[in-house]
A and B are shown apart, each in its own frame.
Chain A
Amino acid sequence: MKILVPLKRVVDYNVKVRPLPDNSNVDLNNAKMSVNPFCEIALEEAVRIKEAGNAEEVIAVTVGKTESQEQLRTALALGADRAILIETDSILEPLAISKVLTKVVEQEAPDLIILGKQAIDGDNNQTGQMLASMLNYPQATNASEVRFDGDKVNVTREIDGGLQTLQLNKPAIITTDLRLNEPRYASLPNIMKAKKKELTIINVSDLGVDINPRTELLSVELPPSRDAGIIVETVDELVEKLKNEAKVIT
């Protein structure tokens, strides 16, 4: 079995992101960039499936700028066997990314594709479902457990009311939730080894996909700020304020 893991280079989750002074976009100048946390979980799951003897090869792929090679090297250090960069200077929308990824799927014919449930930059939560739709593959989003059952895969999903388990035919698409696993750290020897692993670069224009944007970003602003609150000294004071000032309890 072959597993494809699409991953995204995003601003590190610890960075506090602000708008540019002209409000045209967010200010990412000199911001620390990382592998999207949900994609790390996706990769970890793929590597564990391989380590358990259920897969032969894990391929990491990203669509992005040339700098995204850093995140692909991280993926290689974390256990991916090879990596593919679909290079573009444009910022692609999930629809276009999904179209690009269908080309990679046609090339590689993976049995399983594991993505993050959402990229923490745009918080779109779309790409896995769109890719599944374009390929007519089954999908299990927000996975918290993945088990193999013959040639099918059973996935437990985190849904609003609790948990749901689905059984998917392969090839299948899974998107990861936070509790699927805890990703490992890359060891120094593995970081060294990753430098020798294969990283293929393909220019997006060679794929013949329509990547024209469908939306325009008109502006980016800070959310309305909250007025400064007060520190109460005692529980009595808290209860009094909630009753008589905020009037939220009776």
Chain B
Amino acid sequence: MSILVIAEHDNSSLKGATLNTVTAATGLNGNITLLIAGSNISSVIDEAKKVSGISNIISCDDELYKNFLAEDLSSLVVSISNSYSYILAPATTFGKNLLPRISAKLDVQQISDIISIESEDTFKRPIYAGSCIATVKSNDSIKLITVRSTAFDAAPMDNSNVSVESLDAVNALNISEFVSEEIAKSDRPELTAANIVISGGRGMQSGENFHLLDSIADKLGAAVGASRAAVDAGFVPNDYQVGQTGKIVAPDLYIAVGISGAIQHLAGMKDSKVIVAINKDEDAPIFQVADYGLVSDLFDALPELEAKL
């Protein structure tokens, strides 16, 4: 059986979630091919050759794939799909945008966001904002799957035996066009890859007050996240949102500050190893999932915490 993993990258390096997806693929018993499509991707290919568990790389280096438009990328994947029994992508905005487009062309019911592989055709996945876990069996002959990265370790980078084959681009569809992108630049680790995450909610009261979290994050080497309420209020940009419909994180330590703990927020962080909650309301539901709760005004607790770290 052959497995195709669609790599997510930014034309210069691999995205971390690709490595978790490869690890999921190693649970399926088969040769793993990594597809890298983009523009000027030689550095991505060099990096990818080290990914443990893969046996070969198919690359497609073409201007057409520079911005990873789902319309064109899906045609490319469909053009090689009949060699594979599985096609996997990370359950990131990249994979979620792309994979259903391929599934529909192949007449396959995709399995989204798996957290475990039970057998060659059976998978577990969260439903209802993670309130329940469903075990689902796929009866399609090809299986298309997106992988929740927090549920699988990152593949190590110790491979030295990977062949690379290049592929021609397929005809452009010309129905959509890339206009622009604003990618947030930060010196901090990426939310989904950080070992420690400190998130603020509506209780932070303003964007400026997020500096209180920033200085703690700097000391801990942590990433900064937020609840939906904090993002909606404009305190921080949308890519900070943790939750059912934001990012899924599972760091060693998650510190929730001024966050009540709505189920949609918990869906994005309750698999963290250790959870700390700082909230002035002792009845806030966040305390039900916290390993350590501190009932305190955050404007007192945060400066003290910063000083004592």
Residues on A facing B (Cβ under 8 Å): 11, 13, 16-19, 26, 38, 93-96, 98, 117-118, 120-134, 136-142, 144, 154, 157-169, 172, 177-179, 213-223, 226-227, 229-232, 234-236, 238-239, 241-242, 246, 248-249
Contacts and interface: CB of A to CB of B under 8 A. Distances in A.
Interface string B231-248: 110000111000011010
A121 B131 CA distance: 10
B274 A248 contact: yes
B127 A222 contact: no
Given A117-B245, A215-B137, A162 B184 contact: yes
A158 B274 contact: no
Nearest to A139: B70
B136 A218 contact: yes
A161 to B, nearest CB: 4
A13 B196 CA distance: 29
A138 B175 contact: yes
B104 A130 contact: yes
A125 B295 contact: no
Q: Which 7 A-B pairs have the closest CB atoms?
A: A138-B176, A129-B100, A214-B109, A133-B104, A130-B104, A126-B100, A229-B291
Nearest to A170: B175
B263 A232 contact: no
Contacts of B128: 11, 17, 26, 120-121, 123
Given A16-B131, A160-B92, A164-B180, A133 B308 contact: no
Interface string B203-240: 00000000000000000100000001001100001110
Nearest to B128: A17
Main SS of chain A's interface residues?
Answer: mixed
Main SS of chain B's interface residues?
Answer: mixed
Nearest to B305: A235
A160 B309 contact: no
B293 A231 contact: yes
A248 B273 contact: yes
Contact of A248 (B109, B136, B252, B295): B252
A154 to B, nearest CB: 6
A26 B109 contact: no
Given A165-B180, A214-B138, A220-B133, 6 more contacts: A118-B245, A129-B101, A219-B134, A219-B135, A231-B295, A242-B292
Interface string B270-295: 10011110000010000101111111
Interface stretch (B29-37, B55-63, B110-118, B155-163): B110-118
Nearest to A121: B128
A249 B196 contact: yes
Nearest to A117: B245
B105 A133 contact: yes
Nearest to B71: A138
Contacts of A162: 181-184, 237-239
Contacts of A221: 132-133, 135
Contact of B309 (A128, A231, A239): A239
B222 to A, nearest CB: 10
B120 to A, nearest CB: 14
A158 B94 CA distance: 11
